[in-house]
Amino acid sequence: MTLEGGVALSATFPDPSGAAAPAGLEVSPRKKLGFGGWFALVWLALVILCAVLGSILPGVSSFNTTFLDAASSKPLTHGHILGVDDNGHDTLSMLVVGARASLEVAFGAVAAGILLGGSLGLIAGYYKGVVDLLISTVFDVMLAVPALILALALVSFLRGDPQKTHWPAEVVLIIALGIVSTPVLGRITRASALTWSQREFVMAARAQGAKNFRIMWREVLPNVLPALFSIALLSVGIVIVAEGGLSLLGVGIPFDQKPSWGNMIALFGQSNLRDAPYLVFAPIICLFLTVLSLNLLGDVVRARFDVRESSV
């Protein structure tokens, strides 16, 4: 059912409508990467490079390096391309270093979601019956809470008293957002697994007496992966955005520990919008391009592998 599938996707975070929108009539058989696709790949590669190398990159200083004498410099002054914030941090460096925190949370949470949701979905789709009913109900219930609210509730309660929390903020975020993405990724896996487990080669494997686990692992999973992958791409974008939303709500990664795109938007957005808008717009643009790229790639993958959300 479209409705159900839609709910599954839309129940993601603040802005899922796009993710939910099926390609509709435009299901073009073999979509080429095109300009958009290439752009997306290059941008994402750049972001990942920044996240991995961080302050090793030339011209990028670590977060601990401050330029207090140049504090509040506008872009292209005092040798700082994107300016300096009012505490002496180079904006460009913060963006590069911040990519790491943002991506850690995003990839971490989606990986957790894939692991948990993917395996549950696979089991549900493969075994069907009561197992399926049970797992699907769990997914249903998880999706019955608006995703951002679920994430916020989990983060704030897992964190508890910020004075005493032992877990680093990122771990809490990864756990919470991982749980939130579980039913989304789980559902698409289940739907896909449901279709594939009825195919001849799976039947054949079963008839030959192969163990269930082996069939799931060797026969079903590889076929499920494209669908899972395309939704995972969208989820990464959604989680990056969610990290920003949670920062605004005061439960993101603390800025004094490390910058992330989300906490930069939250901090500068609430204090520098007037006097230094570039501090706010720089991470917003990064966030936007990254989400756009992930959505574009997700579309390409879906078109390539003919993943139809209507099957969710």
Partner 1 sequence: MSFWLRRLARLVVVLVCVSFFSYVLLDLLPGDPVTTIAAFAPASVREQLKHDTKLDEPIPAQYWNWLSKFSRGDLGNYYRSSGVDKVSTDVGSALPVSLQLMLYSMILTVLLAIPLGVFSSYWAGTWFDRLVNATAFGAIAIPDFALGLVLAYVVGVKLRWLPTSGYVHPSNGLLKHVKSMVLPATSLAVGQIAGYMRLLRSDMIATLQEDFITMAKAKGMPSRRILWRHALRPSSLTLLTVAGLNVGALIGGAVVIEVVFQIPGMGLLLATNIRAQQFIAVQSIVAILAIGYVVVNTLIDLLYVKLDPRVRSVRTAG
Partner 2 sequence: MATTLRARHRSTIAVAVLTFALVASACSGSGSSGNSGSGNNTSTTPTTAGTAQSGGSVTWALPAETSGGWCLQEGQLAISGIQVARAIYDTLTVPDATEQYKGMLAQSVTGNAAHTVWTIKLRPGIKFSDGSALDATVVKNNLDAYRGSYPARHPQLFIFIFKAYIHDVKVVDPLTVEVDTVPWVAFPAYLYGSGRFGIMGQAQLDDPATCSSKLIGTGPFMEKSWKRNDQFVAVRNPNYWRKDKNGVQLPYLDQITFKPIVESAQTLNGIQSGNVDLALDDNATNIVAYRQLEKDGKINLTESLKYPELAYTMFNVTKLPFSNLNARLAFAYAVDRDQENKLRNKDVSPLASGPFGPGVMGYLADPGLPKYDVAKAKQYVAKYTQETGKPLEFTYVSAGTDPDLLKTVALIKTYVEKAGLKMTVKAVDESQGINQALGKQFDAIGWRNHPGFDPDTEFVWWHCNNKVVPCDNLVNFGGFNDPVINKALEDGRAESDPAKRKADYETVNRQFAKMVYDGWGWEADWAIPASLKVHGIGNLPLPDGSAPFPGFTSGIDPAGVWVTK
Q: What angle do CA 301, 306, 311 make, to 5 degrees?
A: 115
DSSP 8-state symbol, 199: S
The alpha carbon torsion through 220, 225, 230, 232 (nearest 10 deg) reads 110
Binds partner 2 (CB under 8 A): choice among 25, 64, 130, 208: 64
For 160, residues 6+ apart whose C-beta sits below 8 A from its C-beta are none
User: Closest approach of Cβ 147 to partner 2, in Å?
Assistant: 24
Interface with partner 1 (CB under 8 A), residue total 65
Task: Write the binding mask 202 to 241 for partner 2: x where contact by CB under 8 A, - elsewhere.
Answer: ----------------------------------------
Tell whether residue 292 is a contact of partner 1 (CB under 8 A): yes
CB of 184 to partner 2, least distance (A): 31
The first and second tokens of residue 227, run together, are: 């669908």
Reading the block at residue 176, the tokens are 């919470």
A 10 A CB-CB count for 83 gives 21
64 binding partner (options partner 1, partner 2, none; Cβ < 5 to 8 Å by kind): partner 2
**63 phi, psi to nearest 5 deg:** -65, -25
Q: Contact letters (x/-) for partner 1, 221-260, by CB under 8 A?
A: ----------------x---x--xx--xxxx---------
Report the DSSP beta bridge partners of residue 90: 84
Q: For partner 2, which residue of 37, 88, 146, 226 counts as binding (CB under 8 A)?
A: 88
Q: Nearest-CA neighbor of 105 among 31, 196, 197, 13?
A: 13
Residue ranges in contact with partner 1 by CB under 8 A: 1-3, 6-7, 9-26, 137, 140-141, 144-150, 152-154, 156-158, 160-161, 164-166, 237, 241, 244-245, 248-251, 265, 269, 273-274, 277, 280-281, 284, 287-288, 291-292, 295
